[in-house]
């Protein structure tokens, strides 16, 4: 029988091997982000186990950042690195246990369908060749990667400053790969010249899209932080080039363009739903903002049955940290509608899919759907 091999020495990889002596009791640990404060993302390759009943135990699951997120969670697996299907998983006595008999000799397992830096670069190289698209850099990350900005709009500036500025960022928390899958759907629809919603939007608005604001954390296989272990979504009040150049550079560009609408895309480890969190905790939160948030939610409910507004975060749950969060700080600073959109790691419990759970494809559909509410609210954003 061939020897087993497990590796994570690739883009986004994360696992440590404790014991690989027998397929029935593979013992693993998730490697924490730099700084040891956070972990939950895992992504590894297993070779040599074709046709063998494997039991993989993630021994340190109980200490993960959101241990309650393991309840009713199922890991994803892939043979071809394209299709990621769910495999039997349970959380028991503080361990996450994955039971799987691979049909192929080489198989990958992950917390959610990975989104590689290579794919990111390929996609941007492709979209910049479409009319009205410019791929620009905001600066560099601490590991030296470009912070990519996709600008989509009427480059002739036909409407001048009357054009609305719409910003969307994704993957502040790099393990939340569904956020970048969503961005693919949103960008693809915006660039579909046969789509009347996209055409109407681009007649009057400019889009500033940051599909991956945390490339270092993504490549390093982090859950939540950048190259020096900083949680970017607590840096928006006072970012610095030493700790959080990703945030510093985005805010700097926002300051020069202005912002009329901001969406920040995330994944939630625990709740099996799509939901938005608004700015109700902001000190200057107004009646007008409350109405805009409600209108956006209502429009999104109409166009995406995968979205809901029953389950989500409680208002004010971030307390004194509120203005350090991206959507709160941007809403506060620019006086604009500003929302965090959360997608599930698990599934949408209201419309479950037993084979794939929540998936890249469903994330893309939600990204496409976002354009409807944006168009519906366009006249009220400024
Ligand atoms: Zn997040």
pLDDT tens digits in sequence order for the chain, 382 residues long: 679 999 999 999 999 999 999 999 999 999 999 999 999 999 999 999 999 999 999 999 999 999 999 999 999 999 999 999 999 999 999 999 999 999 999 999 999 999 999 999 999 999 999 999 999 999 999 999 999 999 999 755 555 578 999 999 999 999 999 999 999 999 999 999 999 999 999 999 999 999 999 999 999 999 999 999 999 999 999 999 999 999 999 999 999 999 999 999 999 999 999 999 999 999 999 999 999 999 999 999 999 999 999 999 987 778 889 999 999 999 999 999 999 999 999 999 999 999 999 999 999 999 999 999 999 999 999 9
For residue 268, how far is its CA from the centre of ligand 1 (angstroms)?
6
pTM of full prediction above 0.95? yes
Give, for 55, the enclosing helix (H) or strand (E): strand 54-58
| CATH architecture of structural domain 117-380 | 3-Layer(aba) Sandwich (3.40)
Closest CA to 203 of 46, 374, 19: 374
Q: Pinpoint the residues of the chain covered by CATH 3.40.630.10.
A: 117-380
Length of the chain: 382
The single-letter DSSP state of residue 365 is: H
Q: How far apart are CA 364 and CA 352, in angstroms?
A: 16
Per the residue annotation, which of 184, 206, 293, 342 is the catalytic one? 342
Q: Kindly write down the DSSP assignment for every residue of 151-216, as one continuous string.
A: EES-TT-TTGGGSEEEEEEE-SSTT-THHHHHHHHHHHHHT-TT-HHHHHHHHHEEEEEES-S-HH
SS3 label, residue 360: helix
For residue 224, how far is its CA from the centre of ligand 1 (angstroms)?
7
SS3 label, residue 358: coil
Closest CA to 6 of 106, 94, 77: 106
For residue 176, how far is its CA from the centre of ligand 1 (angstroms)?
6
SS3 label, residue 341: strand
For residue 357, how far is its CA from the centre of ligand 1 (angstroms)?
19
Res 318: pLDDT: 84
What residues are paired with 90 via a beta bridge? 97
Residue 178 contacts residue 282 (beta carbons within 8 Å): no
Q: Pinpoint the residues of the chain covered by CATH 2.60.40.3120.
A: 5-110
For residue 46, how far is its CA from the centre of ligand 1 (angstroms)?
28
Res 160: pLDDT: 59
Q: How far apart are CA 219 and CA 217, in angstroms?
A: 6
For residue 311, how far is its CA from the centre of ligand 1 (angstroms)?
17
Is 342 tagged catalytic? yes
Q: 106 vs 26, 50, 51, 109, CA distance in Å?
A: 15, 7, 11, 10
What are the DSSP E strand ranges found in 68-176? 76-78, 85-86, 89-92, 95-100, 106-110, 133-140, 146-152, 164-170
Q: Sheet of 5-7: strands edge to edge?
A: 5-7, 43-47, 106-110, 76-78, 85-86
Res 162: pLDDT: 86
For residue 346, how far is its CA from the centre of ligand 1 (angstroms)?
14
At residue 254, φ and ψ (nearest 5 deg) are -60, -40
| CATH architecture of structural domain 5-110 | Sandwich (2.60)
């Amino acid at each position: 029988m061939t020897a087993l091999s497990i590796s994570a020495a690739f883009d986004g990889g994360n696992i440590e091997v404790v014991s690989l002596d027998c397929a029935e009791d593979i013992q693993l640990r998730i490697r924490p982000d730099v700084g040891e404060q956070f972990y939950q993302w895992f992504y590894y390759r297993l070779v040599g186990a074709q046709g063998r009943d494997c039991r993989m135990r993630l021994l340190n699951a109980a200490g993960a950042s959101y241990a309650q997120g393991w309840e009713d969670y199922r890991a994803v697996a892939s043979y071809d690195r394209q299709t990621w299907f769910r495999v039997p998983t349970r959380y028991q006595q503080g361990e996450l246990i994955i039971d799987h008999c691979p049909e192929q000799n080489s198989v990958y397992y992950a917390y959610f369908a990975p989104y590689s830096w290579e794919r990111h670069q390929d996609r941007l190289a492709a979209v910049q060749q479409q009319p009205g698209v410019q791929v620009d850099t905001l600066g560099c990350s601490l590991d030296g990667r470009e912070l990519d900005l996709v600008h989509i709009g009427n480059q002739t500036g036909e409407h001048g400053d009357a054009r609305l500025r719409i910003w969307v960022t994704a993957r502040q928390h790099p393990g939340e790969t569904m956020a970048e899958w969503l961005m693919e759907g949103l960008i693809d629809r915006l660039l579909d010249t046969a789509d009347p919603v996209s055409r109407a939007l681009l007649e009057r608005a400019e889009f500033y899209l940051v599909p991956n604001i945390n490339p270092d954390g993504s490549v390093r296989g982090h859950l939540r932080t950048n190259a020096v272990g900083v949680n970017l979504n607590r840096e928006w009040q006072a970012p610095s080039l030493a700790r959080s150049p990703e945030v510093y550079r985005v805010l700097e560009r926002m300051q020069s363009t202005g912002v009329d609408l901001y969406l920040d895309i995330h994944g939630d480890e625990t709740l099996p739903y799509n939901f938005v969190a608004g700015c109700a905790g902001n000190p200057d939160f107004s009646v007008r903002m409350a109405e805009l948030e409600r209108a956006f939610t209502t429009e999104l409910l109409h166009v995406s049955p995968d979205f809901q507004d029953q389950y989500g975060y409680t208002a004010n749950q971030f307390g004194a940290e509120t203005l350090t969060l991206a959507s709160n700080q941007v809403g506060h600073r620019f006086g604009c509608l500003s929302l965090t959109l959360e997608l599930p790691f698990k599934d949408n419990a209201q419309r479950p899919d037993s084979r794939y759970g929540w998936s890249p494809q469903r994330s893309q559909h939600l990204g496409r759907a976002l354009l409807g509410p944006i168009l519906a609210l366009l006249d009220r954003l400024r």
